[in-house]
Structure 1
Amino acid sequence: MRVSILTENGEIHTIEVDSQMELENIKALLEADCHIPVEEQLLFHNETELKDPKSTLQNNNVAQDDILTLRRRSKKPRTQIASIPGGPAASSSVRPGQIAQGGGDPHNAEQIRQHVLNNPATLRQLQETQPELADAAVNNPNRFHEIIRELDVQRRSAEMARLQQIEHLNADPFDMEAQAKIEEAIRLENVAANMEAAMEHNPESFGRVTMLYIDAEVNGHPVKAFVDSGAQATIMSPECAEACGIMRLVDRRFAGIARGVGVAKILGRVHSAQIRVGKDLFLACSFTIMEGKGVDLLFGLDMLKRHQACIDLKKDALIINGTEIRFLSEHELPSSAKDNPELTPEELASMGGADKGKDAAASTSSAAASVTASSTSAPTASTIAPTPAAVSAPASVPPASGAAPTSHPEQNIQTLMNLGASRSEVIAALDAAGGNVDFAASFLF
Structure 2
Amino acid sequence: MRVSILTDQGDIHTIEVDSQMELENIKALLEADCHIPADEQVLLHNNRELQDPKSTLEANNVAPDDILTLQRRSNKQRTSISTITPGSGAGPSVHPGQIAQGGGNPHDAEQIRQHVISNPSLLRQLRETQPELAAAAENDPNRFHEMIRELDVQRRSAEMARLQEIQQLNADPFDLDSQRRIEEAIRLENVAANMEAAMEFNPESFGRVTMLYIDVEVNGHPVKAFVDSGAQATIMSPECAQTCGIMRLVDRRFAGIARGVGVAKILGRVHSAQIRVGKELFLACSFTIMEGKGVDLLFGLDMLKRHQACIDLKKDCLVINNTEISFLSEHELPHSAKDNPEVTPEELAAAAAGKSAEAQELTSSSSPSPSSSAAVPTDVTSATSATSTTITTEPNTLAQATTPSAETYPEEHIQSLMALGASRPEVIAALDAAGGNVDYAASFLF
Note closer, same or farther for the CA distance 1:28–1:428 as it changes in structure 2 (3 Å cut): farther
The residue aligned with 1:23 is: 23
Q: Which runs of 5+ in 1 are unaligned?
A: 361-368, 393-403, 432-443
* Aligned-partner residue type, residue 98 of structure 1: Q
Q: Does 1:59 align with 2:59?
A: yes
Letter of the 1:316 partner, please give it. D
Aligned to 2:351: 343
1:22-171 → structure 2 map (5 Å cutoff): 22-74=22-74, 76-79=75-78, 91-101=91-101, 103-171=103-171
Aligned partners of 1:136, 1:256: CA distance in 2, in Å?
A: 56
What's the CA shift for 1:314? 3.3
Is the 2:254–2:389 Cα contact (8 Å) retained in structure 1? Answer: no
Q: Is the 8 A contact 1:102 1:109 kept in 2?
A: no
Q: Secondary structure at the match of 1:357?
A: helix
Per the alignment, in what secondary structure is the counterpart of residue 233 of structure 1?
A: coil
Give the structure 2 partner of residue 388 of structure 1.
395
- CA RMSD, aligned part only? 3.8
Q: Give the corresponding residue for 1:2.
A: 2
CA contact (8 A) 2:418 2:424 kept: yes
Shift of 1:313: 2.6
Alpha-carbon distance in 1 for matches of 2:73, 2:321: 79
The structure-2 alpha-carbon separation of the partners of 1:222 and 1:142, relative to structure 1 and needing over 3 Å to count, comes to same
Q: 1:233 to 1:72 in 2, by over 3 A?
A: same
Q: Spell out the pairing of 1:362-381 with structure 2 (5 A cutoff).
A: 370-378=379-387
Q: Which residue of 1 aligns with 2:227?
A: 227
Is contact 1:84-1:90 (8 Å) kept?
no
Verify the 8 A CA contact 1:307 1:321 in the aligned structure 2.
yes
| CA distance 1:273–1:210, shift in 2 (3 Å) | same
State the partner residue of 2:324.
Answer: 324
SS of 2:69 mapped into structure 1: strand
Partner residue, 1:198:
198
Is residue 419 of structure 2 the alignment partner of residue 427 of structure 1? Answer: no
Change (3 A) 1:390 1:47: farther
**Against the structure 1 CA distance between its residues 115 and 339, is the aligned structure 2 distance closer, same or farther, given a 3 Å change threshold?**
closer
Q: In the aligned structure 1, how far is the partner of 2:336 from the partner of 2:406?
A: 24
Q: Distance in 2 between matches of 1:78 and 1:308?
A: 68
Structure 2, gaps ≥5 residues long? 341-346, 367-377, 400-404, 433-444
Would you say how many aligned residue pairs link Structure 1 and Structure 2? 402
Q: 2:45 touches 2:69 (CA, 8 Å); kept in 1? A: yes
Q: Distance in 2 between matches of 1:231 and 1:429?
A: 28
Structure 1 contact 151–419 (Cα < 8 Å) conserved: no
Identity of aligned residues (%): 76
CA-CA distance at 1:275 after TM superposition: 0.9
Cα 1:422–1:110 change in 2 (3 A) is same
Contact kept, 8 Å, 1:101 with 1:155, in 2: the verdict is no
Q: Does the CA-based 8 Å contact 2:42-2:49 persist in structure 1?
A: yes
The match for 1:396 is none
SS of equivalent residue, structure 1 residue 224:
strand
Q: TM-score, normalised by structure 2?
A: 0.77
Give the counterpart letter for 1:79 in structure 2.
Answer: R
SS in 2 for 1:154: helix
